[in-house]
Structure 1
């Protein structure tokens, strides 16, 4: 990036200078040639008037005219010829073509139109000027032709071009130096960000970034810090999860070992005590299996989203099936379970995963409820989403715990949860299943006043 910034800086810095250089040289050359041409035309006009005064065309022996012609030739390093109306050369300052006929387009045009003309030959580097000799009767009696070299003018332009080139080189070096400085200034914050990212890659998670050189880099550093904070949070969550898994898996094993050691430590154990201890061990084994099953379910959900088996499902029938399966659990506590369907609803879902989510919510509503309480499940929909509400008359959730209930292994009342047999993973599984459907889940609860979970899922699944 630094290289391209320097290139852009140099290009955009030099283009105006180069354009100014080309324009200056070109206009200076045109102006110099125009000025020199105008000077020669003025001199030729003056001399052509003198030619008429001295009758030079009929008697080319005036010393004054010859002196003036010689002076003009010397000053401008050129050649002057006097031509009569018959196109005969009566005077040539070079003495080469006197007495010869001059057939020239410019001379003929000047004789016919009676106007001065000029022509610049860029290839041969000379300018040709004609001036008519007009008699007192306003008749064109001849032409004065001057051919002047432009070498001195073009040499001056060459020097100007060389000086301009030297200035361009200096400007290039200055712009290049400034480009390097500016590019370094721009890239430095990005370099710091890159270094911080590399440090994080190496494992330095506390490498917070503070780059406020520009608003954009400030936003980038803020986004990086947020990402770093999220990574740290995820890492802490992972470590806590591993710790919780270890603890949850170890607890039933510890209980089984204590029970088994108690049996082994006694001789002639009564059959009643033996059966009681074996029953407790069986319960702990079931608990271990429940934890492992829930963990495997969570791992599968975390691993792939594309594993969803999306089909068009009748949600009313799905909820009826779930409640019918959980009714025996509710009957044990004499809890009334009611389904309220406000309208027929059909949606694109993964039947197994949504069943798992709703089952966990309803089962929790039953488990953490009072005897002879109630659980109400309602279904409604609009043009875009369907809504499932699970309401209960249970013990409620304290406000300070509501932000954490979807975390893995989080329990509001650990002792009560263990008595009921919860693994602390049910709500995490429910939340993951809902999110996989691009939905949302919210909780509304007060301690001692029951709980309401609201699930919102799109009617049409968007991959």
Structure 2
């Protein structure tokens, strides 16, 4: 059954089944309606023939005047043998006594059944019933009195075979079912042939997917049209681009980590070798070099701590400890701690808020994120500049704006500043003592709070960072 694993063969079987079943059902309904129509038509024809016999019986007044009985009997027998009739004809009086029977089977006997009784009450009918392997129709029509139409003198009964109708239906049934089968096969084969239009691009796409699984991320499929297959191709290309970006980011991250760790290690190695290979080194130099070594060790420790923080944030190893916190108090506390850093550069710190704002946050993590942002603004603002922190809110969100008059960020670099170790100036972070991970930690923390952070900046004019987070924290699965 390996052939059935092919999508094209499964489509063939599927379309055959899907087309054959409705066609079979439709054929059954059609045959049923045709049978009803032909039987109804046959009943009407037999009632019409019975009415002809009834009219002749009435006009001849044969049921009241027995003087012409022999002629009447002969006439009935002749009519039963005519091509238009070819049936058994019975005439019974109002008491059910058989006056004439073209087959002589029930002559001079009494017959009374529901159909005859209904006909005596002027309810003419034609009924179908099965006699052995034959299908018979009995048509019963009343015979009124010639002189008094309200009086019924008897009933004319015609009994005929309609097997020809069912033979025609049987022939049509075979043809209809055969046509349904052929049509279903044709639809299935047509779908099998045209399914290549679907399976071919899917097979091509699968080849590219397999290449990606082997590490060949530079894959791109040619997209033609605007159908679902084209959408799938576009989604694949987008996925491949994202994977390339992730891989490139990973490689850059590894490279940056290696570089950041190697720089202080290299400094430590140079300082220690200087002490080892020099003779008669003065105590003052020992102190100076050990102070530098201690500084580089602190830098290594800061880098490793920030890296661990980022990893834990990425993997959600550190759960959020959400509490309702007054953001005004948190922000003022941060500014109070950073006043000494601002005073060194004669930078003016401005705090602006027009009302108390409380929000559901993890105070420790959120404080670190805001501290990183404000500290960066101070570090990259020239002496005598200004850093402004503004807190606002609406009914749903709180907005924290950090605006500085610093050196600014180039337009092409603004989308990259939240990447790990990314530097707009490759030497700036080392001069200011940063690890290059502060904004990445800030970004990740804001995202964990279901918020967003945007930046607007002009080189030489300063930067504006705006943080937006919901007042009520939304947990996965809903607010609690």
Aligned partners of 2:106, 2:120: CA distance in 1, in Å? 19
Question: Contact conserved, 1:52 with 1:134, CA < 8 A, in 2?
Answer: no
Question: Contact conserved, 2:405 with 2:462, CA < 8 A, in 1?
Answer: yes
Question: Contact conserved, 1:10 with 1:176, CA < 8 A, in 2?
Answer: no
Aligned partners of 2:338, 2:440: CA distance in 1, in Å? 20
Q: 1:174 aligns with which of 186, 202, 218?
A: 186
Question: Contact conserved, 1:79 with 1:146, CA < 8 A, in 2?
Answer: yes
- The 3-state SS of whatever aligns with 1:379 is strand
Give 1:65 shift.
5.4
**When the two structures are superposed, what TM-score results if normalisation uses the length of structure 2?**
0.84
Q: Which stretches in structure 2 are left out of the alignment for 5+ residues?
A: 1-9, 476-480
**Aligned pairs (5 A) from 1:12-161:** 12=22, 14-35=24-45, 37-38=46-47, 40-41=49-50, 43-45=52-54, 47-48=56-57, 52=61, 57-62=66-71, 66=74, 69-70=77-78, 72-73=80-81, 75=83, 76-84=85-93, 87-107=96-116, 110=119, 113=122, 117-124=124-131, 125-131=135-141, 137=147, 143-161=155-173
* Cα gap change, 1:57 to 1:377, in 2 (>3 Å): same
Aligned partners of 1:320, 1:327: CA distance in 2, in Å? 11
- The 3-state SS of whatever aligns with 1:395 is coil
Aligned partners of 1:397, 1:87: CA distance in 2, in Å? 115
Deviates more, 1:121-130 or 1:193-202: 193-202
**Aligned pairs (5 A) from 1:259-338:** 259-304=271-316, 307-338=319-350
**Aligned pairs (5 A) from 1:447-462:** 447-462=459-474
Question: Contact conserved, 1:356 with 1:430, CA < 8 A, in 2?
Answer: yes
Aligned partners of 2:28, 2:223: CA distance in 1, in Å? 37
Deviates more, 1:431-440 or 1:26-35: 26-35
Aligned partners of 2:307, 2:394: CA distance in 1, in Å? 35
Q: Deviations over 1:8-59 (max 9, x none)?
A: 4444555545433432343233324433x14532552465367548998434
Q: 1:217 aligns with which of 229, 242, 266?
A: 229
* Cα gap change, 1:27 to 1:54, in 2 (>3 Å): closer
Q: 1:242 aligns with which of 243, 254, 267?
A: 254
Aligned partners of 1:12, 1:81: CA distance in 2, in Å? 47
Give 1:141 shift.
5.2
Deviates more, 1:384-393 or 1:177-186: 177-186
Instruction: Quote the residue 1:380 is aligned against.
Output: 392
**When the two structures are superposed, what TM-score results if normalisation uses the length of structure 1?**
0.86
* Consecutive aligned runs of 4 or more in structure 1 exceeding 6 Å deviation: 53-56
Give 1:73 shift.
3.7
Aligned partners of 1:108, 1:381: CA distance in 2, in Å? 93
Give 1:422 shift.
1.6
Question: Contact conserved, 1:395 with 1:449, CA < 8 A, in 2?
Answer: yes
Instruction: Quote the residue 2:478 is aligned against.
Output: none
Aligned partners of 1:299, 1:71: CA distance in 2, in Å? 106
Give 1:271 shift.
2.5
- Alignment length (residue pairs): 459
Aligned partners of 1:358, 1:420: CA distance in 2, in Å? 18
**Once superposed, what is the RMSD of the aligned Cα atoms?**
3.2
Give 1:244 shift.
0.7
